[in-house]
Structure 1
């Protein structure tokens, strides 16, 4: 099975290094020197990682045969793809590969069906499940332990405990100022002086 593990960014310096947007929880395993990666677009690769280092919090890679800035710039926006055994699991039991989570049924802890995971969006702050509801609409569920309370791969489901308003229309009033703005029939009684 092929998994996207990184996207090549801009060139760094003049000796062929590129910045890399990492899309794997195991960069030391997938993006180490000597790794041979397929690419999208396919005509660019395969690429063999020659060196890697972290600079100012970003991973920099150099590929075999790429020796200058123009060669590095030509690789910009290329996806790096690793061949992974579909039976392989992450070392940490609390981590999952995207392919394990795709198509899981999403239900609340009370058993209410929300939908099915159709996409996983990797954002800088957190990952999001894109869940297609039975009516065809979509809802985004943050993949954080406070909301996603269980992943059961045997049962093929993700159990969530969503805050009010995330998957339904029941939102709590966030502040007293919002309560004051409520319609007159819902407003709090006025203080009597």
Structure 2
């Protein structure tokens, strides 16, 4: 199985270093020295990681054969792809690889469907589920224990308990549903009053 683990950003310095946008929970494993990565576009690779370091909160990588700023800049926006055994699992019990989470249904505790996970965004502060809703809009849900209460791989779903405002329209849907019910009740009442007058 192939997984996108990073996207190359701009060149850093004059010796071939590049910044990378990390898209994996395990950069030390997937992007460590000696790692051989496929690329998209394929013509840019494969690339072998020679060294890596963190600078001002960003990961910098240097690849074998990339020795100057021009060569590094030519790699900008290239996706780095790792070959991963689909049966491979993280060492920690409560950790998951991106490919285990993508396509899971996101549901509320009562089973209401929110959408499906299309991508995991790895930010410095936390990971986010990018969720596509049934109407095609996107929603970002922080992958934190207080919000994501259960990952059920067997049933292919992630159960969430969102705080007010995260799923914008839960209150709106409820109030709209209540308003419809009231309108229906009023209509029935009006109808029965007319029947009584007749």
Give the alignment's TM-score, normalised by structure 2.
0.77
Q: Determine which structure has the larger helix proportion and give its number.
A: 2
Which consecutive residues of structure 2, in runs of 5 or more, have no partner in the other structure? 173-198
Partner of 1:73: 73
- Within 5 A, what are the aligned runs for 1:118-157? 118-157=118-157
CA distance in 2, matches of 1:46, 1:58: 23
Cα 1:58–1:154 shift into 2, 3 Å: same
Which consecutive residues of structure 1, in runs of 5 or more, have no partner in the other structure? 172-193
Q: CA shift at 1:56, angstroms?
A: 2.8
CA distance in 2, matches of 1:22, 1:131: 19
Q: CA shift at 1:103, angstroms?
A: 1.8
Q: CA shift at 1:124, angstroms?
A: 4.4
Contact 2:131 2:138 in 1 (8 A): yes
The count of corresponding residues between Structure 1 and Structure 2 is 171
Q: CA shift at 1:104, angstroms?
A: 1.4
CA distance in 1, matches of 2:139, 2:66: 43
CA distance in 2, matches of 1:61, 1:138: 31
Contact 2:47 2:64 in 1 (8 A): yes
CA distance in 1, matches of 2:143, 2:13: 36
Q: Deviations over 1:128-157 (max 9, x none)?
A: 323344455544332222111010111211
CA distance in 2, matches of 1:19, 1:52: 10
CA distance in 2, matches of 1:133, 1:27: 29
- Find the structure with the greater CA-based Rg: 2
1:162 matches 2:162: yes
Partner of 1:8: 8
CA distance in 1, matches of 2:27, 2:154: 27
Give the alignment's TM-score, normalised by structure 1.
0.78
CA RMSD of aligned residues (A): 2.0
